[in-house]
Amino acid sequence: MATVADVTVHEGHWIGGERISSPADFDDVSPIDGQVIARVARGGAEEAAAAVSAAERAFPAWSRTTREERARLLHAIADGVEKRLERLAIVETTDNGALLRSHLRGVMPRVAHNFRFFADWLLRLGRDDFETRGHRNHVSWDPAGVCALITPWNAPLMLATWKIAPALAAGNTVVLKPAEWSPLTASLLADITAEAGLPDGVFNVVQGYGEEVGAPLVADPRVRRISFTGSVPTARHIAAAAAPNLTPLSLELGGKSPLIVFADADLDLAVDLAVEQYDNAGQVCLAGTRLLVQEEISAEFTERFLARAAALRQGDPRDLATDIGPQIHAEHFARIDGFVRRAVEAGATPLIGGGPNTDLGGLYYRPTLFTGVAADSEIVNEEVFGPVLTLQTFRTEEQAVEMANSTEFGLAATLVTGSPESAGRVAARLVAGTVWVNCFFVRDLRAPFGGARQSGMGREGGDWSFDFYCDVKNTVFAPGGWNG
């Protein structure tokens, strides 16, 4: 047991309705001050296999529960999240360094919403029967089995429950492997599911490092679905492990998204949206890190952007007045700094930032904006996943589209324009799973979510989630009466 911000957190795995320890553990370090806040059970192949076994045993009964009962339990989990909202928020802030105000106002309420949404969607899931030469076709969604869910550290509980909620709603059992840099709210969620009455083994949590516990988990032939959010290199390892078993995958990977500002845009809005890309210290896969600004307004845009960015307050994320907190981990901090240093060596000019915040020390990295970047440079084409943006200019709509589509990623894009016609033309040509026009980060669970190219494969959300987490079946009934 660990005490984090006066909240008691179990450090063991959650397997088959029991807390399980491991022979070894690992230090969970807060990025705020570098202090060890928990010593978490370090799982391996044995724990991965035990969790899959527990999930497999629980699957037959859980898969046969009625939709109404599954929906009731998901709502009970949401109730438990809301009851503990402040505790979840402070633990996650301490664990991963994201802003407490964001956790309180948006992130943790969204966790509860994830469960409620998929509970309600389950009850309306279905399509009208249709006829083929007098035969009746009936489409159904059958639970697939054990789902292995591997989730990232930048919004640990919210991103995990985007996967957990539909997987459970579909009638599957779950083995969650949370990121080792931010595992604690997954442990708290296990307590919440038990209190809500979720049967033992339906939801399991195995903790540890990807190569030790994640690798045997995704290679287990008993796993019927794998959903992963994280880096492209890790996704390649997961896909290779899943291939011998032909396990279906849903992969939401990195991004290098463009934020395109046309000359007819509302500049105040454009600047607000651009500065918003520093949210969560830049550790957001959807962030529009490539600012593409039409030439005739680039000088004014830059001046306004620098003024707004200078007003951002960096510091302790537990302070509700803070705008930017620390990076998650020393390893990630060094990675960001490496990108910045190489960009400077390649001739890029940092208009702001360009290095660590030496006033704060630790893992605080200054918000950075580069100009003078080459189109083929690393800083333009590779995901930094930190508070680092680039600014490039374009002349024409055609050039803007060409620049926007020039990387290997295709997760999201943002357009700022005063012309509906231009917005429609450009959005239609962008390679992206999500395009925002004059807005950013509006996410409705009814909509499909995922990426193109190296940003992933598959879509989740609404019916798309159930299509992935289920075996979709069509039953064809012959016309006429029945004998007997």
Kindly state the DSSP code that residue 245 receives in the 8-state scheme. G
What is the DSSP code string of 319-343?
A: STT-SB---S-HHHHHHHHHHHHHH
Report the candidate in 280, 282, 259 with the shortest Cα–Cα distance to residue 270: 259
Locus of tokens 């830049």 = 282
Is the CB of residue 388 less than 8 Å from the CB of residue 368? yes
Cα–Cα dist 293/219, whole Å? 45
* Bridge pairing between strands 349-352 and 368-371: antiparallel
215 Cβ neighbours under 8 A, 6+ residues apart:
237, 241
To 5 degrees, how large is the angle CA 155–CA 37–CA 85? 45
Exposed, middle or buried by CB within 10 Å (0-12, 13-18, 19+), for 421? exposed
Cα–Cα dist 224/22, whole Å? 26
**Cα-trace Rg, the chain:** 23
Question: Catalytic residue at 303?
Answer: no
What the block records as the tokens of 305 is: 């952007």
Question: Catalytic residue at 285?
Answer: yes
**Could you tell me how many residues make up the chain?**
484
Q: How far is CA 66 from CA 46, 69, 71, 384, in A?
A: 33, 5, 9, 45
Query: Considering 285, 383, 460, 470, which one is annotated as catalytic?
Result: 285
Query: Considering 252, 383, 460, 470, which one is annotated as catalytic?
Result: 252
**3 state SS of 164:** helix
CA 243 to chain centre: 23
98 Cβ neighbours under 8 A, 6+ residues apart:
92, 107, 154, 155, 280, 281, 283, 317, 325
- Cite the beta strand spans of 386-479 per DSSP E: 388-394, 409-410, 412-416, 434-437, 452-453, 456-457, 470-477
**3 state SS of 257:** coil
Is the CB of residue 455 less than 8 Å from the CB of residue 255? yes
Residues assigned a catalytic role: 252, 285
